[in-house]
Amino acid sequence: MPIDLYYFPPSPPCRSVMLLAKSLDVKLQLKVINIINGDQKSPEYAKMNPQQTIPTLDDDGFIIWESRAILGYLVNQYAKDDTLYPKDPKERALIDQRLYFDASYISQRATEYFKKVAFMSQLVNEDDLEKMHETLQLLNTFLDGQLWVAGPNMSIADFAIVVSVSNMEALGVDLNEYPNIANWYTRARSAMPGYEEINQAGAMMMGEMFKNRLKELTQ
């Protein structure tokens, strides 16, 4: 049975799921939900996912949403080993910590910065910019002496966080201010199959939207 992914190309959490699926060689049947047009508000979609968000995965009738939960599910169900999401309680706890850090800090702060300009007609918010830099400083510290965000091995946390970091870069943040991040980012981009087409294209779309809107607002 095909695995359906309800998604929209520029959506960051959708991109992390697609990146991981590509790495695991899991084939997804992509179904576009255009959130700009409000497709996620349709009664059919709400019946499947009452939270009305993308991504949503439908694996032969098993429905799951929240991208980081989907990442864990894909490894648990389809990976040939558990290296990307180890069963060892301590290793897994560290990965979960990074995933929650991404959900509540990194991705959150990139979204705040982006959406005020792109959807709320506000100019760049300096506090939001400062908050993005605070989280990058923390991530840079986590990466001190580490190859990957949760230690010596690549994990699903790298898939979630690479998307958030690429968004910040597309929004104009200079990652070279954070040497550990810059090195890890280069490493992750070359280690993740399909990275450029799956993630970078979406991040660029977000960046263009942000810059164009900013130009309109300041003209």
Q: At what angle do helices 107-118 and 201-218 cross, to 10 degrees?
A: 40
Task: Closer to ligand GSH by CB, 53 or 155: give it.
Answer: 53
From the CB of 40, what's the least distance to ligand GSH, in Å?
A: 5
Catalytic annotation, residues: 11
The answer to whether 162 and 23 have CB atoms below 8 angstroms apart is no
| 167 is a site residue for ligand GSH (CB under 6 A) | no
Per CB under 6 A, does 53 bind ligand GSH? Answer: yes
| 135 touches ligand GSH (CB under 6 A) | no
Name which of 3 and 103 has its Cβ closer to ligand GSH: 103
Nearer to ligand GSH, 22 or 68 (CB): 68
Q: Exposed, middle or buried, 64 (CB in 10 Å: 0-12/13-18/19+)? A: middle
Taking CB under 6 A as the rule, does residue 52 contact ligand GSH? yes
Q: Does 202 bind ligand GSH (CB under 6 A)?
A: no
Backbone phi, psi, residue 33, to 5°: -120, 105
Q: Does 86 bind ligand GSH (CB under 6 A)?
A: no
Q: Is 49 in the site for ligand GSH (CB under 6 A)?
A: no
User: What span, in angstroms and rounded, lies between the C-alpha atoms of 4 and 23?
Assistant: 17
Question: Which of 54, 110, 154, 170 contacts ligand GSH by CB under 6 A?
Answer: 54
Instruction: Verify binding: residue 13, ligand GSH, rule CB under 6 A.
Output: yes
Q: Which is nearer to ligand GSH, 55 or 72 (CB)?
A: 55
Task: Tell me if 66 contacts ligand GSH by CB under 6 A.
Answer: yes
From the CB of residue 35, how many other CB atoms can be counted at a distance below 10 Å?
A: 17
Cβ 116 to ligand GSH shortest distance, Å: 15
b/e per residue 118-142 (b: at least 16 CB within 10 A): beeeeeeeeebbebbeebbeebbeb
Instruction: Return the axis-axis angle of helices 201-218 and 12-24, rounded to nearest 10°.
Output: 160
Dihedral pair phi/psi, residue 65, rounded to 5°: -130, -175
- Chain residues in the site for ligand GSH (CB under 6 A): 11-13, 35, 40, 52-55, 66-68, 103
